[in-house]
Amino acid sequence: MGKTTGFLEYQRQSGPVRPEEERILDFREFHCALPLNEQKKQAARCMDCGIPFCQAGVMISGMASGCPLHNLVPEINDLVYRSRMNEAYHRLSITHSFPEFTSRVCPALCEAACTCGLHDDPVSTKENERAVIEYAFMNGLAVEPVPEIRTGKKIAVVGSGPAGLSAAQLLNRRGHEVTVYERSDRVGGLLMYGIPNMKLDKSIIDRRVSLMEKAGVRFIVNADVGRTIPSETLLKEYDSVVLACGASRARDIAVPGRDAKGIFLAVDFLGKVTKQLLDTDFQKAPLELAKGKDVIVIGGGDTGNDCVGTCIRLGAKSITQLEMMPAPPAVREERNPWPEWPRILKTDYGQEEAIRVFGADPRVYQTTVKEFIKDKKGHLKEAVLISLSPKKDEATGRIRMVPAEGTERRVKAQLVLIAAGFLGSEEYVTGSFGVETDARTNVKTAPGGYSTSKEKVFTAGDMHRGQSLVVWAIAEGRNAARAVDEALMGYSNL
């Protein structure tokens, strides 16, 4: 696969990135593509390794190794290298519903497991896939097939995130009549309102949704199933229902002063910013949310990083990002060997921009908020931070981060964004449908299954497995579609 000696002849080269001082002035995508002839050289680095861990998608030491979609990575890379882009697109489409999403926002599990990465830089599979899907759209290859025969079966998909969209796509291709319900005013779920535009331009989502609509998928927005639309209505009108509502119950923090004005859940904040940008055709950003303010972001994951990048674009005076855990090591430790996911320190775009603007990394490790301080009008003015130290729990053997008394300190803050992850599915949805949930409030199914405790109700995505990656949600949606199809038809060719 690829050029036999390509990994020896070519060094890894990524697409150009707009410089920090330029990209913080707008909300446009900042990661650009290589010219196609240069991207072919990157595909040539795929080294015919014999065992393609990149497409394994297996769990090793609690972390995924390789792509959970099981994309045929070496074959796709080989076709890109040989300039057979039409075939590369069709090969990628066998396993992948939306490469245009993952090639922008996925952390590239495939690359972390790349054999070439054991001693050198891994193959740039993520950018190779982006080249393939964008070539397909530019050349009229990316079409959504219209079924020649309809089965007469009607399916409701609740939630239009990556899991819901992928389930709807395959079920429609099979010939079922599919209607997708979305509680927001636009289709896309967290793809639309949870990921900033500079990482995933919303026109990319609209482009795909338009194809699905032309192929027969019906989308209903502002439809909050379980509240404005009773679950009984869906159970009565449809042959099957797929719950793909995500793990959208955000984790809050309970400390004194939490009711101060100026404290937001990160997902609400990011959604508000994106909505105003879209509503004004990017002519007006909600600068009043962060301009001139001292900002604290609680949480060190992707969402926290997105908050940092967004606040910089909104003119924040300063930004501090709190992480409860110790800083990861700069290089792999012996207990974290390849092809495990590398647990190492990574500096993402938001932190890069903060370093450029403020002169220092915004992250402060082993720290959390002990108290919020309000002014006389109830507005946030300060936060009391406290350091954390690791302590072994004698009962469970696990390490917990506990407050270190005497380390309290006050810092100015007029805006706090809580990006502490998600607790699981929304109870009003699961309760409305009467489906069983597990201890983490994820919808319960048999191991490896997608059917719930409620007849003809299925589930997929974060609502099923808990907070995870877009690529996992797509894989879940595709698998759930097959389960629904088998239940309705007695077999499945999906």
Looking at residue 107, its amino acid is: P
pLDDT over threshold 90, residue 397: no
Element (H, E) at 18: none
Q: What is the pLDDT of residue 396?
A: 83
Q: What is the pLDDT of residue 393?
A: 85
Residue 149: which of 177, 168, 180 has the closest Cα?
177
pLDDT over threshold 90, residue 120: yes
pLDDT over threshold 90, residue 320: yes
CA atoms within 13 A on the CB side of 90: 6
pLDDT over threshold 70, residue 1: no
In order of 17, 287, 413, the CA distances from 417 in angstroms are 27, 15, 11
In order of 124, 205, 315, 472, the CA distances from 114 in angstroms are 9, 29, 39, 18
Sheet with 294-298, side-by-side order of all strands: 263-265, 415-418, 294-298, 318-323, 363-365
pLDDT single digits (tens) 209-267: 999 999 999 999 999 999 999 999 999 999 999 999 999 899 999 999 999 999 999 99
Q: What is the pLDDT of residue 398?
A: 87
Reading phi first (left if > 0) and then psi (alpha if -120 to 50, else beta), residue 48 is in: left
- In the chain, the domains with their CATH numbers are 6-138 (1.10.1060.10), 154-248+423-489 (3.50.50.60), 252-420 (3.50.50.60)
Are 391 and 400 in contact by the 8 Å Cβ rule? The answer is yes
Residue ranges with strand state E in 356-445: 363-365, 367-374, 380-392, 399-403, 409-412, 415-418, 422-424
CA 447 to chain centre: 23
- pLDDT category, 83, cuts 50, 70, 90? very high
362-367 mean pLDDT: 98
Instruction: Extract the tokens encoding 379.
Output: 């507005």
What sections of 314-442 are H helices per DSSP? Answer: 349-358, 427-433
What is d(CA 306, CA 190) in angstroms, rounded to the nearest whole number?
A: 13
274-283 mean pLDDT: 98
Q: What is the pLDDT of residue 61?
A: 86
Q: What is the pLDDT of residue 395?
A: 82
- pLDDT category, 38, cuts 50, 70, 90? very high
Among 59-63, 65-69, 182-186, 488-492, whose mean pLDDT is lowest?
59-63
What sections of 287-410 are H helices per DSSP? Answer: 302-313, 349-358
DSSP character string of 216-282: T-EEE-S--BTTTB-HHHHHHH-SEEEE---S-EE-----TTTTSBTEEEHHHHHHHHHHHHHHTTT
- pLDDT category, 394, cuts 50, 70, 90? confident
473-489 mean pLDDT: 98
pLDDT single digits (tens) 429-451: 999 999 999 999 999 999 999 99
Q: What is the DSSP letter of 16?
A: P
What is d(CA 225, CA 180) in angstroms, rounded to the nearest whole number?
A: 11
Are 214 and 158 in contact by the 8 Å Cβ rule? The answer is no
**Virtual CA dihedral for 101, 103, 108, 113, nearest 10 degrees?**
120
Element (H, E) at 94: helix 85-95
Cis peptide before 339 (omega within 30 of 0): yes
The average confidence (pLDDT) of the chain is: 96
Helices 125-138/73-81 angle, 10° precision: 60
pTM listed for this prediction: 0.96
Percent residues over pLDDT 90 in the chain: 95
In order of 263, 268, 318, 325, the CA distances from 416 in angstroms are 5, 12, 12, 19
